[in-house]
Amino acid sequence: MDQDFVRHITLGQILDETVSKYPDREALIYVDRDFRLTWREFGELVDRLARGLMALGIKRGEKVAVWATNVPYWVTLQFATAKIGAILLTVNTSYKVSELEYLLKQSGAETIFVMDGFYDTDYVLTMHDLVPELREQERGHLKSERFPALKRVAYLGPQKHRGMYSVPEILGLAATVSDEEYAARQASLEPDDVVNMQYTSGTTGFPKGVMLTHKSIGNNGFWIGENQGFTENDRLCLPVPLFHCFGCVLGVLAAVTHGTTLVILEKFDPVMVMRSVEQERCTALYGVPTMFIAVLQHDLFPRFDFSSLRTGIMAGSPCPVHVMKQVMEKMFMKDITICYGLTEASPVMTQTRMHDDIRRRTETVGKAMPGVEVRIVDPETGEECPHGVQGEVCCRGYLVMKGYHEMPEATARAIDIDGWLHSGDLGVMDDEGYVSITGRLKDMIIRGGENIYPREIEEFLYTMDGVRDVQVAGVPSRKYGEEVAAFILLQDDVTMQPEDVQDFCRGKIAWHKVPRYIVFLDKYPMTASGKIQKYKLREIAAEMWPDA
């Protein structure tokens, strides 16, 4: 099924094609610092950084970690590593010391780039604490007792820090690598080489390093952009994290494969989103539903012009119908699409199309991407489910990861013998191939032998006046095994009692689905990429009702 839809090409070749087609068009923009590069300028900067990395001694197959928000050199590093056959290892910006230590040890990363820090974590200080040898040893000769694989540490910017290379220093080393050496390195690369490693965001269990190839993320990025109608005339406002697939594949690679201008925000800020869209006349905008809600509900929203927008992506969690309607009407995003997938699938397996009706854009996650097979299987038997019958969502094709880094058993659990990647998500497929996600296998609540799917109750509670958002999870129960708990965010100036929610449910949904426990929260625990951590909600409930 692959051949008609999949190009066998490296990310470096993709960039070179775009540079040659659109050399003088704008490639990369940061509104808050008036940073602008054309495709020619961006391509030249990538080549200089790539040669500088070679001069440092970075070899094909080595892992280069990047621990930074969406700073200007981030995307340059993404393509510079790709051009020399190194593997870009993206690090969650919310990580603390123990999480970074785990990642560096498990991955065996040879190089790491860091920035100053993020929120309450000083990245430079953290590196000096983890690698005290940086204060004493000569750069280029690092020998870390704790991280024997680590050879070099660099700062993703112009400032100098003890034991670390700066970007200007690395760029300066580019002249020591000949054209012939650089060309030979690029010629040695294969589209099936691993180019990106992302550690799953940790909503469940230990993070695992997902190995993705040039072919998998390059082609996935192309079709994501194609399904939005991207061309060189589009301008994408990108406020989502680059360390996550949403940023570096759905965003960067969808744009680069089409010559679309990237208007990047260092971090999400609703005012900067509105300013960037208006000032740069952006035609596309990405975000998780909570980001769109933050923009729509902002006091300054009426003062900005969104009329240039037409498309974009909402992903990460289900979108309430009223939010989608507002995005399409008030923000002019008539062609907005919904994507579904997981990092292990590079990451998108299904996407709605631009002209799908609002029902499909809120009740489904679209249909299979070109060149990808998607099916629903019975979790018990592995047999394919008929249309309309719930099962586990699986996919097969070019997009499936090479595996988890040094975790063969976990890889075998995720990818079956026939090459199907098992998502762990429950869903149904209709007669036209559109998939609706109904829950997660691990999220399923079993109360007294009755299977309860949280998504069903969440969608019902969305219809209650005063409810802004709702998440449903199971709480351990001695009597029933599990009970239903609802975690609710209320709209501003709304007060509510748990009994009000239960009264609203009674008679409208099955009695065993009525939440036994109701918790009103100000915000949800979330990963840095915007995913709600349901396991933490379950922990909150277990603490509140230990004798349930």
At 319, is the pLDDT very low, low, confident or very high (cuts 50, 70, 90)? confident
At 205, is the pLDDT very low, low, confident or very high (cuts 50, 70, 90)? low
Say whether pLDDT at 198 is over 60: yes
What percentage of the chain reaches a pLDDT higher than 90? 80
Are 68 and 116 in contact by the 8 Å Cβ rule? The answer is no
Mean of pLDDT values over 82-86: 98
What is the separation of C-alpha 117 from the centre of its chain, rounded to a whole number of angstroms? 20
Say whether pLDDT at 548 is over 70: no
In angstroms, the CA 173 to CA 167 distance is 10
Q: What digits encode the pLDDT tens for the residues 353-368? A: 999 999 999 899 999 9
| CATH code of the domain made up of 11-199 | 3.40.50.12780
Closest CA to 100 of 218, 202, 246, 233: 202
Q: What digits encode the pLDDT tens for the residues 224-250? A: 999 999 999 999 999 999 999 999 999
Are 401 and 346 in contact by the 8 Å Cβ rule? The answer is yes
Mean of pLDDT values over 78-96: 95
Closest CA to 234 of 277, 296, 266, 275: 277
Say whether pLDDT at 204 is over 50: no
Q: What would the two tokens of residue 378 be?
A: 């019975």
Closest CA to 109 of 143, 154, 62, 61: 62
What percentage of the chain reaches a pLDDT higher than 70? 98
pLDDT score, position 92: 87
Instruction: Detail the DSSP E strand segments found in 177-296.
Output: 194-199, 209-213, 235-238, 261-264, 284-287
Q: What digits encode the pLDDT tens for the residues 398-421? A: 999 999 999 999 999 999 999 999
Q: What digits encode the pLDDT tens for the residues 282-313? A: 999 999 888 998 999 999 999 999 999 999 99
- Provide the residue ranges of all domains of the chain, joining segments of one domain with +: 11-199, 452-544
Say whether pLDDT at 475 is over 90: no
Closest CA to 147 of 161, 136, 131, 132: 131
pLDDT score, position 3: 56
In angstroms, the CA 521 to CA 523 distance is 5
Which among 144-158, 190-204, 461-475 has the top mean pLDDT?
Answer: 144-158
pLDDT score, position 446: 79
CA triple 371-311-422, angle to 5 deg: 35
> Which has more confidence, 213 or 508?
213
Helical packing angle, 270-280 and 289-296, nearest 10°: 80
> Which has more confidence, 444 or 100?
100
pLDDT score, position 238: 98
What is the separation of C-alpha 476 from the centre of its chain, rounded to a whole number of angstroms? 31
pLDDT score, position 485: 95
Which neighbouring-strand residues pair with 121?
A: 118
pLDDT score, position 289: 86
In angstroms, the CA 95 to CA 98 distance is 8
CATH fold of 452-544: GMP Synthetase; Chain A, domain 3 (3.30.300)
DSSP, residue by residue, 331-352: S--TT-EEEEE-GGGSSEEEE-
Specify the 3-state DSSP secondary structure of 220. Answer: helix
pLDDT score, position 203: 42
Say whether pLDDT at 2 is over 70: no
